[in-house]
């Protein structure tokens, strides 16, 4: 449940922040006549995301046996990659509102009102469809790894919309840096689990060797099928009897993320010096 909540809340919050920033800027600059364009973009973005979800589901259902294992493993690795790029991008953003407002301002400066409407429409539409497609991939990766929890996913969407709304009506008092920081740590561990699960699926399909399989087996102490074990499996990719390749992939992923995080922090310090 928590992993579904984390993914949908994080993705929805990013989209809702873009929408909120644009609407707030249009209000502040007396450009309310562009609000309908924003609402149309939201509607088309959501409908396109739903269509993409149906297409993905139909496409995924075509695979069986070895092909299904390869497809599921690939989906998990793609999901981990997208999660990683999203987290690293958010770490580097210091002035999200200013960046988005700058884009809106450039669109409004267009001498042709039609092009201004198109520019704002695409800004919102792309933000929503991008988050929608990423969410589809993430939730399918979760489903392959441990199963989707629709309650958790729905609560994540609701919580993100409320947080995005409160961020603006409360004059931006919500500490987004801390909110994104906490969720980023959990999502990094979740992404590491997806990497390990993806490698496991490739092992099952016979594409790679686990080298030593299993490396150890502690299911008699903490079973994957137990309450705690299943929770850890869904959120952090816990496996009671992993292969050496799975463990190596998990640890290597965390090592690479830690290195990139230190690079980003170092560049921030240099920029502020």
Mind listing the pLDDT tens digit for each residue in 88-128? 777 665 566 677 778 888 888 876 788 888 989 998 998 89
Which tokens is 223 given?
């079973």
Cβ atoms of 240 and 223 closer than 8 Å: yes
pLDDT, residue 256, reads 93
* Alpha-helical runs (H) found in 29-112: 35-60, 65-92, 96-108
Q: Give the orientation angle of helix 65-92 with respect to helix 113-145, to 10 degrees.
A: 130
Q: How confident is the model at residue 188 (pLDDT cuts 50, 70, 90)?
A: confident
Which tokens is 241 given?
């009897």
Which tokens is 207 given?
């594409």
SS3 state of residue 273: coil
**250 vs 107, which has greater pLDDT?**
250
User: Is it the case that residue 1 has pLDDT exceeding 70?
Assistant: no
Per the listing, tokens 């002035």 go with: 95
Residue length of the chain: 273
Q: Residue 141 CA to chain centroid, in angstroms?
A: 11
Dist CA 261 CA 177 (whole Å): 15
DSSP 8-state symbol, 242:
-
- For the stretch 31-85, pLDDT in tens is 888 889 999 999 999 999 889 888 888 887 777 788 888 988 898 898 888 888 8
pLDDT, residue 185, reads 80
Q: How confident is the model at residue 271 (pLDDT cuts 50, 70, 90)?
A: low
Dist CA 151 CA 2 (whole Å): 10
pLDDT, residue 215, reads 92
User: Is it the case that residue 171 has pLDDT exceeding 70?
Assistant: no
């Amino acid at each position: 449940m928590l992993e579904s909540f984390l993914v949908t809340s994080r993705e929805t919050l990013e989209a809702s922040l873009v929408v909120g920033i644009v609407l707030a800027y249009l209000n502040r600059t007396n450009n309310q006549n562009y609000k309908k364009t924003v609402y149309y973009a939201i509607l088309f973005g959501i409908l396109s995301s739903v269509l993409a979800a149906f297409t993905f589901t139909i496409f995924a259902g075509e695979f069986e046996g070895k092909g299904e294992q390869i497809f599921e493993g690939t989906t998990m690795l793609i999901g981990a990659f997208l999660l990683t790029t999203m987290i690293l991008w958010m770490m580097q953003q210091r002035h999200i509102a200013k960046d988005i407002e700058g884009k809106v301002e450039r669109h409004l400066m267009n001498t042709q009102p039609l092009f201004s409407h198109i520019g704002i429409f695409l800004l919102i539409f792309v933000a929503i469809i991008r988050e929608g497609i990423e969410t589809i991939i993430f939730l399918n990766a979760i489903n392959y790894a441990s199963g989707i929890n629709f309650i958790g996913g729905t609560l994540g969407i609701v919580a993100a919309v409320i947080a995005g709304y409160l961020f603006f009506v409360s004059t931006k008092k919500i500490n987004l840096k801390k909110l994104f920081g906490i969720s980023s740590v959990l999502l990094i561990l979740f992404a590491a689990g997806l990497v390990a699960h993806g490698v496991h699926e490739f092992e099952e399909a016979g594409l790679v060797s686990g080298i030593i399989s299993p490396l150890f087996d502690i299911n008699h102490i903490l079973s994957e099928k137990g309450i705690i074990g299943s929770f850890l499996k869904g959120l952090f990719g816990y496996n009671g009897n992993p292969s050496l390749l799975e463990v190596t992939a998990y640890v290597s992923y965390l090592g690479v993320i830690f290195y990139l995080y230190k690079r980003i922090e170092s560049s921030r310090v240099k920029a502020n010096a």
